[in-house]
Structure 1
C-alpha cells in the first residue's frame, strides 16, 4: 500500500462483508472518500477488529475499529457513525502523521505487548489486515 487513497467500490466491498457489516460497503466507500483513505483499508481493519461484524463491540456498540476511550471501548449511535469515527481517527492520528502503511499503522493502532492485549492478538494484526485488504482489492 503506497498511497491510502480510495480504490475499492462499495459494491466490491459488500462481496466479503458479513455480520453487522453486511451491505455497508457504501458506508466504507463514503468514509474513504471523505477522509482520503482507501475504503478497502477501512473495511479490512473493521473485518479484522470485529471478526467480520460478529463481535459484541460491533453488534452492541457499533464500534468497528476496536477504538478505546478513557472509559474503555467506545460506543457509537450507528454503524455509519462508528465507521466514520474510525476513518476520522485513522486520518488524524495515523495518516496525517505519516503512518500510511499497514505495518506502520499497526505499531501504534495495535502494538505488540499492549496492556489491553493479554493474549497477544496484536501480533496477528498486520497479517490479518493485509489479508483482508488484499481480499477487498486494495492497492
Structure 2
C-alpha cells in the first residue's frame, strides 16, 4: 500500500509514517504531548499514527473542542445518546483506533475518502452545519503534514 491519503482518496499506509515525537510538534490543546499514544495505539491496531492523529486534530480543532476537553472524545465518536465519553485521552484514542480497524479498515475502507463516506458522511443528521463536507480535505491535509 502506498502512503497517499490525497484529496483523490489515496490509500493510507498500514504502517507508521510518523513518530510520537514528530506528532508532538503539531499536537495542541488536550492533544498536546499525546504523540506517543497515537504511535503505540497505531502500532497495536496496524493503523498509521499519522491517520489517527489527523482525524483527531480535524475532529477536535487540534484539541480545543468541548468534546475532547470534557469527554476525552478525540474522534467525534457518537453513541446512542450523542457524543461518547471516555475516562482518558488515551482511552479515547484507543476506542477511535479500535473502531477504525473493525468497522472501516477491516471492511476494505482504506482511503480517507472511503472512510469519510461512513465516518462523517455529507448530509448526516448530526451535522446540521455541513462540516462533514470538509472532512476529506481537513483530514488529508493533516495526514500529509504528519506523514512527511
Question: Into which bin does the TM-score normalised by the smaller protein fall?
Answer: over 0.9
Q: In the alignment, what sits opposite 2:8?
A: none
Q: 2:136 matched to which residue of 1?
A: 126
RMSD between superposed Cα atoms in Å:
0.8
Structure 2: gaps (5+ residues): 5-10
TM-score normalised to the size of structure 1?
0.97
Structure 1 residue matching 2:114: 3-state secondary structure: helix
Per-residue CA deviations over 1:79-98 (Å, capped at 9, x if unaligned) read 00000000000000000000
For residues 132 and 125 of structure 2, the distance between their equivalents in structure 1, rounded to whole angstroms, comes to: 11
2:58 corresponds to which of 40, 48, 52:
48
Deviation per CA, 1:24-44, whole angstroms, max 9, x where unpaired?
000000110000000000000
How far off its partner does 1:5 sit? 2.1
1:116 equivalent in alignment to 2:126: yes
Give the secondary structure class of the aligned counterpart of 2:27.
coil
Work out whether 1:33 is the aligned partner of 2:43: yes
What is the number of residues matched between the two proteins? Answer: 138
Shift of residue 7 of structure 1?
1.8
Aligned-partner SS, 2:26: coil
Map residues 1-139 of structure 1 onto 2, 5 A cutoff: 1=4, 2=11, 3-137=13-147
Mapped to 2, the partners of 1:78 and 1:8 lie a distance apart of 23
Report SS of the residue matched to 2:62.
coil
Q: Which blocks of at least 5 consecutive residues in structure 1 are unaligned?
A: none
Deviations 1:37-74 (A, max 9, x none): 00000000000000000000000100000000011100
- TM-score of the two chains, using structure 2 as the length reference: 0.91
